Structure 1
């Protein structure tokens, strides 16, 4: 069951699985007639992805414990950073409730997937499902508030990718969660409590990790968690997420076929992005589980108006200034505020 974007002030159940609010699309809207098979969840497939991710993480942690030398540390930090970013893509699958049939399972695994990047499942879900509902309208906003101006140089691109300001926001939210203070932008009381609880738990995990490092006088926590998250995961996640809408009018173009981008990706990129390279199809109907998005893409790809030949081609065009937001930082076409 689906519907188009809600009107201003309208209350809507944005839980990602029932009465899903769909972004506006121009032309004949056939989304209500999609085959039922497109909406089937595959929990075993998701558990396999989780198992592979954590197997790689455990191997890297073991290497840091047993073979700590510069080469091992550098390789482990790099691989762990990529895996933590990948886990946030799996968190994205959970927040849409695509991974499991039970809501508690989606939240449990979604929270676990976000721990390493301090990404609250309930906060991400609250903001992200509204991004889906309001894409193409002035109400559109995104959870990961990347800097989308000044990317037409290596320095500007790198500064946006490493996003040092996000962790200042995270620290403030950790404090708000512990103090039971309101989380900005989260207006519904029940959702607010869930977000506060998760930030409070993240703070406990952070404090425990720091305490363990201090008591053992060992750099393991830094090498296994903090360094990968800060030095690799943030940039990796930026590279995964920013092509989805960058340079497109997400605020007033009420057509998901032109305000969202599809990337023709390699097998590795399709795995790393968890099929988010097919982002137009994902926004075309957010109720279709990520594992089935390739089927949806195949059925509607002729309608897609914005495509790119590869991720690397896209990044080159951004750095050269060939793809950019028009109108500067305050453009009405830009949902980012940094």
Structure 2
């Protein structure tokens, strides 16, 4: 870890720093937090079983629609959405809150990281920086800038910047040469472990490609890679809704958005739509975020009824800004 600003980390999942003193968690009483942060294996195993069942249904839908593109593409899209929503258990495991057992958190974290092409250890440290510097323009590595135009909005949703960043992460990790930004959140002591994980992942990816070419099989392409790519814009839209357009300040009650999503999405996204609640107390497991919402909802400044509402509001502001620019130019 670098000496100056980054030395202020309070550890993985810590709250704030000297240069970005986060506020908001003080509204949660110690007694309530003590009750809510209790971890257990059962809720995570049940949620995992639900997610695996949804993946199995997706595989079945793609298989049954094979040969009929106008059925197969929608089936692959829906299946792909289920795949990319595996980001939720990856995220939860990075906090060590998906399960009570540490080995379960690590095992599922590494497996899901491989399936979603996000290195687990790398993500863990990057995400810690996101929690420490939430909405800081320079130090939050996951800040999503407000779209400057409708075209910029579409590019962000399509993942125009996401995929190059992902490939760059894997490439630099394989070489063991991390960027200046990555060195801000990756302690030097973990460079070797992070590189080793990325090299193993990439070796396995290359092995899958080689076997697929050798055998002439399209299984990995049809039942993993293509659906995973098709589903990514949905995850981009969800991730954008978490902070974009919220206040760019250290106030967690205003810089993070909670979205009152439908029960199906809350189920497959492991309650992450309760995002402000998660940032206020990242030690609270996913299954208790609904109860935490009951405690803090009167204090939250950024709550939306649905993801459609979030994006409608973002687009309205984008178009207003465009109209103002046109009017100023006349």
Matched, 1:8 2:2: no
Equivalent in the alignment of 2:34: 36
Structure 1's 196 and 93: CA in aligned 2 closer, same or farther, altered over 3 A? Answer: same
Matched-pair contact (CA < 8 Å) for 1:162–1:230: no
Equivalent in the alignment of 1:289: 285
Q: How does 1:1-338 map to 2 (within 5 A)?
A: 8-12=5-9, 14-16=11-13, 20-21=14-15, 24-25=22-23, 29-61=27-59, 64=62, 68-71=66-69, 73-135=72-134, 137=136, 140-143=139-142, 146=144, 148-150=146-148, 152-153=149-150, 155-182=151-178, 184=180, 185-186=182-183, 187-232=186-231, 234-250=232-248, 253-321=249-317
Instruction: Kindly tell me the number of residue pairs found equivalent between the two proteins.
Output: 311
For residues 162-206 of structure 1, give each alpha carbon's deviation from its aligned partner in whole angstroms, at most 9, with x where no partner exists.
213322232233233333333651441233223212211221221
Aligned equivalents of 1:26 and 1:92: distance in 2? 22
Aligned equivalents of 1:183 and 1:104: distance in 2? 30
TM-score for the superposition, normalised by structure 2: 0.83
Aligned equivalents of 2:173 and 2:7: distance in 1? 28
Matched-pair contact (CA < 8 Å) for 2:47–2:267: no
Q: Tell me the CA shift for residue 13 of structure 1.
A: 5.0
For residues 279-304 of structure 1, give each alpha carbon's deviation from its aligned partner in whole angstroms, at most 9, with x where no partner exists.
11111111111111111110111111
Kindly indicate which of the two structures has a greater share of residues assigned to helix: 2
Aligned equivalents of 2:226 and 2:173: distance in 1? 24
Aligned equivalents of 2:192 and 2:319: distance in 1? 40
Q: Tell me the CA shift for residue 133 of structure 1.
A: 1.8
TM-score for the superposition, normalised by structure 1: 0.81
Structure 1's 247 and 323: CA in aligned 2 closer, same or farther, altered over 3 A? Answer: farther
Q: Tell me the CA shift for residue 139 of structure 1.
A: 5.3
Aligned Cα RMSD in Å? 2.8
Aligned equivalents of 1:318 and 1:210: distance in 2? 39
Aligned equivalents of 1:33 and 1:134: distance in 2? 26
Which sections of structure 2, spanning at least 5 residues, go unmatched?
A: 322-330
Matched-pair contact (CA < 8 Å) for 1:24–1:136: no
Q: Tell me the CA shift for residue 11 of structure 1.
A: 4.9
For residues 21-77 of structure 1, give each alpha carbon's deviation from its aligned partner in whole angstroms, at most 9, with x where no partner exists.
256226965454434220111222212222222233234435555762225532441
Matched-pair contact (CA < 8 Å) for 2:41–2:101: no
Secondary structure in structure 1 of the residue aligned to 2:174:
helix
For residues 70-108 of structure 1, give each alpha carbon's deviation from its aligned partner in whole angstroms, at most 9, with x where no partner exists.
255324411221111111111111111101234332122
Secondary structure in structure 2 of the residue aligned to 1:320:
helix
Equivalent in the alignment of 1:335: none
Matched-pair contact (CA < 8 Å) for 2:157–2:237: yes
Equivalent in the alignment of 2:326: none
Aligned equivalents of 2:202 and 2:24: distance in 1? 44
Secondary structure in structure 1 of the residue aligned to 2:104:
helix
